[in-house]
Structure 1
Amino acid sequence: MNHYPIFTHLHQRKVLLVGGGLVAERKASALIQAGAQLQVVAQQTTAQFAEWFAAQQAEYIGTEFSPDLLNGVFLVVAATSDPALNQRIFQAAEAAATFCNCVDQPACCSFIVPALIDRSPIQVAVSSGGHAPVLARLIRQQIEVLLPFSLGRVAAVAGRWRKQVKTALRSLSERRRFWEQLFQHSRFGQLIASGDEAAAEALLQQQLIQHQPLPQGEVVLVGAGPGDAGLLTLHALQAMQAADVVLYDALVSAEVLALVRRDALKISVGKRCGQHQVQQQQTNELLVKWAQQGKRVVRLKGGDPFVFGRGGEECAFLHAANIPFRIIPGISAGLGATAYAGIPLTHRDYAQRVLFVTGHQQLGSQTHGWQTLACAQQTLVIYMGTLQAAEISRQLIAHGRADSTPVAIISHGTQVSQHVLTGELHQLAALAQQAATPALMVIGEVVRLRQQLAWFQPQDNSVTGAAAA
């Protein structure tokens, strides 16, 4: 171990910063946030420094560095563009037994500044010992996405209760088990994340004073997006990494599933036409069963849970069973797949509105349904409609949509296996017969823009209607 890792308490401690450029500005920002009594030496400074000086968040003490400026200084940062000056500052700091960091000069550093994940009071530092700071920042980014933004508030609540817990639980092992159970209980963290710290503290008090077991687990409905794992939200990834049990749909890609915590129990509850299906009632009961056992349950759904995903039904069932739940939205296929295919859903020259419908049931069953769907100057996005493509085409044309209206069928949208068929409305049935499933149908003049805007073609496998016919 080349460096001894420490976190220094800089509040109201004198810190000297030499330099006034953009690099120095970044250093100054972090030092001010840490509460340092910052003194600045520089021949010129950025506009941001002027604001700090005016607000008395930093003090400008001159243009030239001299060793006597180190008197009473806790540490010094040299951030000038002059390596010789930085070295002279380091030598003076060494003589004064003062910590010194010279930016981008590891040999002139008695301390180094790590890449930091800040969830104050929780802080995680990543250091390469000055050898590869860019690599340290990349590692920091990977850790960053796994730590909830509310983690600091969780630590703050725990800090307020440390004394009471120590009084109530005399042995170290008892206290350790108490805190481990509390921190691992997803409901405690979620209450704090939602801003209800009072309820979180009531939960803590219930466990501590009344010695009651923590209540049942919770269910998180997570939108897995259309397939590309890069489209997951941070909240989705964090929930997947924390899950004990994951119930996932057939539409969830292998790439997304690979990001689930490795030791989590994974249960397929997918529904695909012509294949074995898990009935919705069975899925609902599984969610309740595992949550009642105190498990952190993730219901991983392709796209968005509330866009043709039956998420509303599952939430209603959980509510009736008194199971806590929350929803993490995802990018629906209608948004993700069309964007990857280069098809804007709206465009002021072609479409002023967009309709999302499902072809799984009779589209025109409601009065005047087909007239609404056949309107010009709109984009029609149809989920699960390939088996009814012939009827959809016939009805739209019969109710006024031009048979030459551009159409696209997008299979495996946003994934490396993405495949796009394009043609005209009268060709929709023929295109649907060739399309791999799952597939999304897009009908409207905006499809013409694909020739200009298509950017995601991993296998250059887009096929035109003429070629498909």
Structure 2
Amino acid sequence: MKLYPLFAELSGRHVLVVGGGAVGERKAAGLLDAGARVTVGAPELTPTLRQWAEAGRIRWLAGRFDDHWLDEPWLVIAATGDSTLHARIVALAEARRLFVNVVDDAERSSFQVPAVVDRAPVTIAISSGGHAPMLARMLRERLELLVDPVIGSLASMLADMRGQIRARLPDLAARRRFYQRLLEGPAQGLLRRGQRGLAEAVTERLLASADGAAVGSVVLLGAGPGDPGLLTLRGLRALNEADVILHDRLVSTEVLALARRDAERIEVAKQAGNHHTTQGQIHALMLQHAAAGKRVVRLKGGDPFVFGRGGEELEFLREHGIAYEVVPGITAALACAAYAGVPLTHRDHAQSVRLVTAHCQGSIDTLDWPALAQERQTLAVYMGTSELAVIRQRLIGHGRAASTPFALVENGSRAEQRVITGTLANLVERAATYRVSSPALLIIGEVAALAHTLAWFGTPPLGADPVATSEAVAA
């Protein structure tokens, strides 16, 4: 059986639900949302249905089904669980040319109630013909993740501008090109930020120059630490809308695989001590592609605003009049600590956490070492693998105990993750023994000892004796 898709206008129209149980309540709720005049026929009602009846939201026909119940409705839903009664309702409805849905009985139903993704006024309906409703629900769950909630706001704005758009572009093909350019432009981002006035102004400018050049934009997107499951929903949408992706070397292939297949991918290889692409060249690439009307995603590992030069890039884009937005990512300190089983704060051991970078000798010299050496805090050190000896020397020299635990998390959240533990006293030696390499996050503080007892992901921590680290925490 192949169904014909149909969206019914039920506002103010009478719909009958036969059955006052939980299923009937659920069906009545959906019909009320659509503006229907709902009548529920049943001997008894759920407490909610009874409240609706008392408040006048629905009409209640108390008692067992009677033929005259079918005299007024446009649609009928049978939800009693009584197959004999359902067969009677179907036969009577057919005689009156009424469409009827029998809950969980596709063969008897003349219409199906689909699984729905609601982005009002946009509605996406999924039907399995009534034969595999769980499959339809699973597809709905996936679409809920992929369809941006702002689509509803965009549709509402376009409804208000429909007359203006049709007057300016009477040709259907021209309107199609306009809508394509609109979807590729910054209007959705402005609506997402609650700036409808600006979104309308952008749309009007685009409409006024309907035959002009496309408008480009840039999204600064945090890719997270590597596990594609940690990418945000907004980040996933941005990757699927991108024409060009400028990505760092350390962005995982699994995250890149989520992007639009035909998007142009350009690696702007940047890592500590090995800058193949300068920041100036990255700025130039963003400008070049955005000026050509492309949707550019600047994809960074972790979060763009945590040691990622995101602020510099926004300043450049603003200076050159390029529309932009920022989609945060899960930064390495949060992800690596979580995947290593290390709580960054713990009421018994650490009441604060500091994020610092040891990218080069110059940045190390600007750090407040007396403050960093204080106890009862956690240090999360980014890009510090080449400066471990200096970090140890400065911390111990400013009063941090040599017995303070550490955890080095290499390739955090990825399948190849390794966690190396020990104390400040043997930090350099442990890293050398296990040949720790970038990307790796260094966590220093009493909480690092918990990596052995709370580890849950990947291989067990390497290096320190679990008993010794537990004693360090207790101390």
Please indicate the TM-score interval, normalised by the length of the shorter structure: over 0.9
Query: Offset of 1:181 from its aligned partner?
Result: 2.5
Distance in 2 separating the partners of 1:82 and 1:398 = 81
TM-superposed CA distance for 1:414, in Å, is: 1.1
Over 3 Å counting, the alpha-carbon distance change for 1:389 and 1:212 in structure 2 is same
Q: How far apart, in 1, do the equivalents of 2:161 and 2:10 lie?
A: 26
Specify whether residues 209 and 384 from structure 1 end up closer, same or farther in structure 2 by C-alpha distance, changes over 3 A only: closer
Displacement of 1:413: 1.0
> Shift in Å at residue 49 of structure 1?
2.5
Tell whether 2:450 aligns with 1:453: no
1:59 and 2:52 are equivalent in the alignment: no
Indicate conservation of the 8 Å contact 1:227/1:415, yes or no.
yes
SS of 2:239's equivalent in the other structure is helix
User: Could you tell me the percent identity over the aligned residues?
Assistant: 46
- Classify 1:343/1:166 alpha carbon distance in 2 versus 1 (closer, same or farther; 3 Å): same
**Residue 328 (structure 1) aligned with residue 315 (structure 2):** no
Amino acid at match of 1:49: L
Partner of 1:437: 438
> For residues 105 and 436 of structure 1, do their structure 2 counterparts lie closer, same or farther at Cα, with a shift above 3 Å needed?
farther
Paired position in structure 2 for 1:365: 365
- Amino acid aligned to 1:122: V
Offset of residue 311 of structure 1: 0.5
310-319 or 101-110, which deviates more: 101-110
DSSP-derived class of the 2:330 partner = coil
d(CA) in 2 for partners of 1:415, 1:91: 60
Query: Secondary structure of the equivalent of 1:10?
Result: coil
Cα deviation, residue 449, structure 1: 2.7
Q: Counterparts in 2 of 1:122-137, with a 5 A limit?
A: 122-137=122-137
Is it true that 1:398 corresponds to 2:420 in the alignment? Answer: no
**2:174 match:** 174
Please give the alpha-carbon distance, in whole angstroms, between the structure 1 residues aligned to 2:453 and 2:91.
Answer: 60
CA distance in 1, matches of 2:280, 2:149: 35
CA RMSD of aligned residues (A): 2.2
Q: Aligned in 2, Cα 1:412/1:47: closer, same or farther, shift over 3 Å? A: farther
Change in CA separation of 1:34 and 1:395 when aligned onto 2, cut-off 3 Å: same
Partners of 2:93 and 2:329 in 1: CA distance = 53
How far apart, CA to CA, are the structure 2 residues paired with 1:109 and 1:354?
A: 60
Measured in 2, the distance between the counterparts of 1:354 and 1:146 equals 34
Report matched runs for 1:47-446 at 5 Å.
47-183=47-183, 185-209=184-208, 213=212, 216-273=215-272, 275=274, 277-362=276-361, 365-366=365-366, 369-433=368-432, 434=434, 435-446=436-447
Q: Which SS does the other structure have where 2:399 is aligned?
A: coil
Q: CA deviation at 1:351?
A: 0.9
Q: What CA distance in whole angstroms lies between the structure 2 residues aligned with 1:80 and 1:399?
A: 76
Unaligned 5+ segments in structure 2 are 467-475
Following the alignment from structure 2 to structure 1, what is the Cα–Cα distance between the partners of residues 72 and 119? Answer: 31
Return the offset for 1:75: 1.2
Q: Does the CA-based 8 Å contact 1:248-1:268 persist in structure 2? A: yes
Q: Read off the aligned partner of 1:15 and give its amino acid letter.
A: V
Q: Aligned partners of 1:263, 1:81: CA distance in 2, in Å?
A: 50
Please identify, of 7-16 and 207-216, the stretch whose mean Cα deviation from structure 2 is larger.
207-216
Q: Give the aligned length.
A: 463
Q: Is the deviation greater in 69-78 or in 298-307?
A: 69-78
- The CA distance in 2 between the partners of 1:83 and 1:411, in whole Å, is 61
Contact 2:405–2:424 (8 Å) recurs in 1: yes
Tell whether the 8 Å contact from 1:224 to 1:300 is kept in structure 2 after alignment: yes
Q: Secondary structure at the match of 2:457?
A: coil
Residue-by-residue CA offset, 1:197-244 (whole Å, 9 max, x unaligned) = 222222333333465735631110011111111111111111110011
Contact 2:178 2:210 in 1 (8 A): no
Higher mean displacement: 151-160 or 383-392: 151-160
Q: Partners in 1 of 2:290 and 2:166 — Cα distance?
A: 30
Deviations 1:448-467 (A, max 9, x none): 3333432222xx35323359
Instruction: Say if 1:247 and 1:269, in contact at 8 Å, map to a contact too.
Output: yes
One-letter amino acid of the structure 2 residue matched with residue 455 of structure 1: W
Contact 2:222/2:304 (<8 A) preserved: yes
- The superposition leaves residues 146-179 of structure 1 with CA deviations (integer Å, 9 ceiling, x where unpaired) of 2211112212222222223323333332333233
Q: Which amino acid aligns with 2:153?
A: R
CA deviation profile, 1:296-316 (whole Å, cap 9, x unmatched): 000011111001111011111
Greater shift in the superposed pair: 218-227 or 146-155:
146-155
- The code of the aligned residue for 1:137 comes to R
Provide, for residues 185-207 of structure 1, a one-character-per-residue CA deviation record: whole Å limited to 9, x for no partner: 32122223222222222233333
Q: What's the CA shift for 1:54?
A: 4.3
Q: Distance in 2 between matches of 1:265 and 1:92?
A: 60
One-letter identity of the residue aligned with 2:97: A
1:216–1:323: 8 Å Cα contact kept in structure 2? no
Separation in structure 2 between the aligned mates of residue 335 and residue 284 of structure 1, nearest angstrom: 28
Query: In the alignment, is the contact (CA less than 8 A) between 1:116 and 1:140 conserved in 2?
Result: yes
Give the Cα–Cα distance (whole angstroms) in 2 for the partners of residues 143 and 93 of structure 1.
Answer: 34
TM-score (norm 2): 0.91
Q: CA deviation at 1:77?
A: 1.7
Q: Are the counterparts in 1 of residues 222 and 330 from structure 2 also a CA contact under 8 Å? A: yes
Q: Distance in 2 between matches of 1:442 and 1:74?
A: 66
For 1:366-416, what per-residue CA distance to the aligned partner results, in whole angstroms no more than 9, with x for missing partners? Answer: 47x111111111111111111111221222222222222221111111111
> For structure 1, which segment, 398-407 or 383-392, has the greater mean C-alpha deviation from structure 2 after superposition?
398-407
Amino acid of the residue matched to residue 268 of structure 2? V
Shift of 1:276: 5.5
Deviation larger for 83-92 or 130-139: 83-92
Corresponding letter in the other structure for 1:124: I
Counterpart amino acid of 1:216? V
Kindly state the Cα deviation for residue 113 of structure 1 after the two structures are TM-superposed.
1.4
Structure 1 unaligned segments of length 5 or more: list them.
none
Deviates further, 229-238 or 58-67: 58-67
Task: Give the secondary-structure state (helix, strand or coil) at the position aligned to 2:186.
Answer: helix
Corresponding residue number in structure 1 for 2:26: 26
